[in-house]
Structure 1
């Protein structure tokens, strides 16, 4: 893992967009990261309902999520908003 990408222990559920939003810090810059509910459900292996279940699944899969999102950041796979999304 590249230590220049840091992931603070912060995450929020966006019910409207059905995704978890979490920050990454790269060389002092904050990058918004997102993982869709469908991707998180595939990683977790079972259906997720409600914010508490979604955030618990995110926490359980955090290492794999951060590892993949770090690769996306290193490949500069930013969307039009400057965020990184794993759908």
Structure 2
């Protein structure tokens, strides 16, 4: 009878070990779950970036305000009759 208990405990121990540490076990599940969460966060960042780019494209296609804003900011253009003031901070 003791031998039977010993064999059953041994089998249960081996099965538990494989369930926790073995291929597709709990450890693999937790690792994959972490990887999925990281990828989900990366996807959210990319979705937000894509949405911002889509909105900018729509603004550039549909309105002159966005084009004017970009030319003013990126190219330093001013309208005729406007006065441009550049304030230089001299705190070096």
TM-score category of the 2 structures, normalised to the smaller one: under 0.3
- Name which one, 1 or 2, has greater alpha-carbon Rg: 2
Q: Which has the higher helix share?
A: 2
Task: Give TM-score, length-normalised by structure 2.
Answer: 0.24
Task: Give TM-score, length-normalised by structure 1.
Answer: 0.25
Higher RCO structure (Cα 8 Å, ≥6 apart): 1
